Amino acid sequence: MANTCKFYKEKRYVSYDNGNTWQGLNEYRKGRLYEPNSVDCIGGVEYAFFELEGEYICDYYAKYRKSQKFQSSNGLDWEPVTPYVFGHIGDAIYDEKLKTSNLNMDCFKAYWWFDNVSTSWDRTQYAADCNDSPILTTSDMQYLPMGYTSSTITKVAVGNCVTRLSQIRPFNNEESYITSLILPDSLREIGGGSCTSSLHINNLDIPSGVTSIEDSAFSHNYIGSTYLPRGLQTLGDHAFLDCSGLTTINSDIIPPNITTIPLGCFGGCNDVTTVDIPEGVTEINANAFDGLPKLKSLTLPQSLTRINGGAFCCGWDDDNYYYNEVTIPSGVTYIGDGAFKSTNVRIFHIKSTTPPTINDINNTLSTFTNDHTSAESMIIYVPCESFEDYWNDSHWGLYDYYLRPESGECEPLYSYQEITKDNTQDWMCVNGTKYNKSYYSVSYNNGHTWYPVVPMQYQQGTIKTSQGGSCNGDRTIKLQWINIDGSTGWEYGSTSGNDSISNGNSYGMKSAIISDSVTKIGSRAFEDAKYLESIVIPNSVSGHIDTWAFQYCESLTSVTISDNVTGIRQQAFRGCKSLESIILPSGITVIGISAFDSCVNLKNVTILATTPPSVDTTYGAFSNCHPDLKIYVPAQSVQTYKAASKWSAYASRIQPIPDS
């Protein structure tokens, strides 16, 4: 057929709804023959746009399928017009990740949304165009209203032409925070300090292609959760320093290629409760996890060889003290100065049979210390067969008071060791004669060091050469107790047997026995005994239970009060949040200010006194107790209580004591 033949022209259409509607495309082809050997076709040239598969074009931040202009003299053979001419086909295509109706991430370098703009610059959005550089920097923000602290950036989207993020925040003095950040799949590097002090985001979505997060990239932000890409190769120093919101640091945040936890990387993340460092990590750098005040659980990997100075310094949940334990794996060969300084770790298990090098600067016991060392000794367990090596080591030997062999393996020696110190707890009276006291003890290193056997056992030693102080009658033990770690303690009474308990060192008590020699429970006697579960106050005690005596005994569930007690002083049982019921004796005459305040589970108070005791209602003797609190009194006194001064405030709660 001659090239001068004329054909019908066909236009290409596309449908996205199974043929219900059609959209025309700027794309054409030859149809059926219209007229052979037409004079209209002699020397004619036809032009058409053809779609380029998989390619796109941007037009004012909207994205379209890209087409190219071609020419043909016969409708069959087509060649591109030179210089090349491009166009777009059909309706704009939008990116679901951006969640907007008028933008596409391929068409801009970054986009910012603003709220509360109170300047003459009245736009609430701004976009930076893609250019020859794949790096988003402050130069891309040159048209923003710099310096207006009243302008609030609420959302930022970074375009698909960006591979490196150097700065996300245009206002150096802006105090607001970005609540939504969209990062592109093209991103590979997040630059140092690029997002510092900028974000308040519940979930930080970092694209899977990112291979580098540099120094301080996300420091000083709120980040509820995040997941670092598995291909991440570089994690910079202080990358997440002082990030609140994060509660768990584990393999989600430490990818497989990160074998060294960088300097200060997660320091100051004050909401973290759990750190579970994955296998493959060999070194933890200085201050990597320092200042985590809510930390309760730490798991270290078997691959670990080095823990540098201050790595876990100055943190841990104080309320969890008696349950805080750390196991340091057998492969660890170095522990730096202050690695566990000022923590609330009570027990360490060192698994290496060769004592790791520790670096206590100036021999100050600064590698392992805790805030309770002076009151409740920590314990450092080491392998039994290496106990003497640790004990003889120039640095580990400084911790000889805390060293213990792991139980069940060593052959111990037992002996009574005499105590020769001259304070009141180191001697005992027998038949009017003073003796040095000796305690039953155990040694795991052939007698070099001795530790009390638990529970403690004592006997008389040699006659005490210094007979200072009275020994008229044998001294009695007025208080003895068992701590939550199984150790025991005691406190001597006077020879007269007229004893008082006050200002006790009761933090670790789990149970206690008060002897019949005690006549008074004094101020702060058991205050802050967080683990004390029960107490019996014997009939030898009379008068008042003094102020703050059992304040904040948070585990206390059972209290038996002497029949001779006549008063409960101010805040005596305040904050005993596990206490559900209590019986006050018949001789009670006063219940003081806030005596049972914040006993949040206290449901039943039984008062055996027929005459209503005086009670405080100004601050509430029973304020902040269980909402269903009931006060039981003798049946014949119910109306008397309800009518009594100040008891009327509790009238709806007062009921007769049920028949047993």
Q: How would you write 596-616 as a 3-class SS string? A: CCCCCCCCEEEECCCCCCEEC
Residue 187 has pLDDT above 70, yes or no: yes
pLDDT band at 454 (very low <50, low <70, confident <90, very high): low
The answer to whether residue 471 scores a pLDDT higher than 80 is: no
pLDDT in tens, 159-186: 888 899 998 876 554 556 888 888 988 9
Task: Give yes or no for residue 375 having a pLDDT over 50.
Answer: no
Q: How far apart are CA 319 and CA 296, in angstroms?
A: 9
Domain boundary (428, 463, 498) is at: 463
Helices (H), 231-329: none
Same domain, 400 and 448: no
Check whether 423 has a pLDDT greater than 60: no
Mean pLDDT of the chain: 81
Domain assignment present for residue 152? The answer is no
How distant is the alpha carbon of residue 52 from its chain centre?
A: 53
Q: Over 90: is that where the pLDDT of 341 sits?
A: no
Q: What per-residue confidence (pLDDT) applies to 437?
A: 75
Domain presence at residue 457: yes
Contact 112, 170 (CB under 8 A): yes
In a domain, 485, yes or no: yes
Rounded to whole angstroms, the Cα distance separating 57 from 6 reads 33
pLDDT of residue 45: 76
Strands of 300-453 (E only): list them.
306-307, 325-328, 334-335, 340-343, 347-350, 357-358, 368-370, 379-382, 403-405, 413-418, 427-430, 433-443, 451-452
Count of domains observed in the chain: 4
Mean pLDDT of 392-421: 76
Is 517 domain-assigned? yes
For residues 453-473, average pLDDT: 63
pLDDT at 219: 94
For residue 419, name the pLDDT band (cuts at 50, 70, 90): low
Statement: residue 448 has pLDDT above 80:
no
Determine the Cα–Cα distance for residues 199 and 221; give it in Å rounded to an integer.
5
Q: In what order do the strands lie in the sheet with 125-128?
A: 125-128, 110-115, 152-158, 180-182
Residues 425 and 308 in one domain: no
* Domain containing residue 447: 414-463
Residues 650 and 509 grouped into a single domain: yes
Nearest Cα neighbor of 607 from 645, 652, 647 is: 647
pLDDT band at 372, cuts 50/70/90? Answer: very low
Q: 370 or 323: whose pLDDT is higher?
A: 370
pLDDT beyond 80 at 310: yes
pLDDT over 50 (residue 119): no
Q: What is the pLDDT of residue 363?
A: 62
Residue type (1 letter), 155: K
Specify whether 508 is located in the same domain as 647. yes
Q: Of 67, 93, 119, which marks where a domain is finished?
A: 93
Instruction: Classify residue 234 as exposed, middle or buried by CB count within 10 Å of its CB (0-12, 13-18, 19+).
Output: middle
Query: Region 321-349: what's the mean pLDDT?
Result: 85
Residue 243 has pLDDT above 90, yes or no: yes
pLDDT exceeds cutoff 70 at 408: no
Q: Do 448 and 383 lie in a common domain?
A: no
Could you tell me which residue, 374 or 571, shows the higher pLDDT? 571
**How far is it, in rounded angstroms, from Cα 595 to Cα 559?**
14
Cβ atoms of 336 and 308 within 8 Å: the answer is yes
Is the confidence at residue 2, as pLDDT, over 50? no
Give a yes or no: residue 239 inside a domain.
Answer: no
- 357: in domain: yes
Is pLDDT of 100 > 60?
Answer: no
Tell me, yes or no, whether 288 and 357 share the same domain: yes
Q: What percent of the chain has pLDDT over 90?
A: 37
Write b or e for each residue in 469-489: b if 16 or more Cβ atoms lie within 10 A of its Cβ, otherwise e. Answer: eebeeebbebbbbbbbbebeb
Query: Bigger pLDDT: 153 or 13?
Result: 13
Strands 630-633 and 654-656 turn out to be parallel
The single-letter DSSP state of residue 153 is: E
Report yes or no: 212 and 229 within 8 Å, Cβ to Cβ: no
Neighbouring CB atoms inside 10 A of 531's CB total: 19
445 or 180, higher pLDDT: 180
82: CB partners within 8 A, 6+ apart: none
486 & 627 share domain = yes
Among 96-100, 307-311, 529-533, top mean pLDDT goes to 307-311
**Residue 358 belongs to a domain:** yes
323 and 340 belong to one structural domain: yes
Better-predicted residue by pLDDT, 549 or 56? 549
Q: Note the pLDDT of residue 207.
A: 94
On whether the pTM is more than 0.75, the answer is no
Phi, psi of 262 (to 5 degrees): -70, 165
Top-confidence residue, 568 or 27: 568
- Better-predicted residue by pLDDT, 299 or 5: 299
Which residue has better confidence, 421 or 375?
Answer: 421
Mean pLDDT along residues 394-415: 78
Residue 473 structure tokens: 């009658």
Is 537:521 a contact under the CB 8 Å cutoff?
Answer: yes
**Which of 267, 222, 228, 272 has the alpha carbon at shortest distance from 247?**
272
> Does position 3 have pLDDT exceeding 90, yes or no?
no
Show which of 35, 60, 93 is a domain's final residue.
93
CATH of residue 579: 3.80.10.10
Residues 602 and 584 grouped into a single domain: yes
Considering the domain architecture, whether residues 455 and 481 belong to the same structural domain is answered as no
pLDDT given for residue 160 in this prediction: 84
Q: What does the pLDDT read at residue 373?
A: 43
Structure tokens at 92: 């704009």
Q: Which amino acid is at 574?
A: R
- Based on the fold, state whether residues 375 and 432 are members of the same structural domain: no
Calpha distance 289→302 (Å, rounded): 18
Q: Both tokens of residue 575?
A: 């904050």
Q: Are residues 511 and 381 in the same domain?
A: no
In a domain, 143, yes or no: no
Write b or e for each residue in 182-209: b if 16 or more Cβ atoms lie within 10 A of its Cβ, otherwise e.
bbbebbbbbbbbbbbebbbbeebebbee
Burial class (CB in 10 A: 0-12, 13-18, 19+), 368: buried
pLDDT digits (tens, 9 = 90+) for 602-630: 999 999 999 999 997 777 899 999 999 99
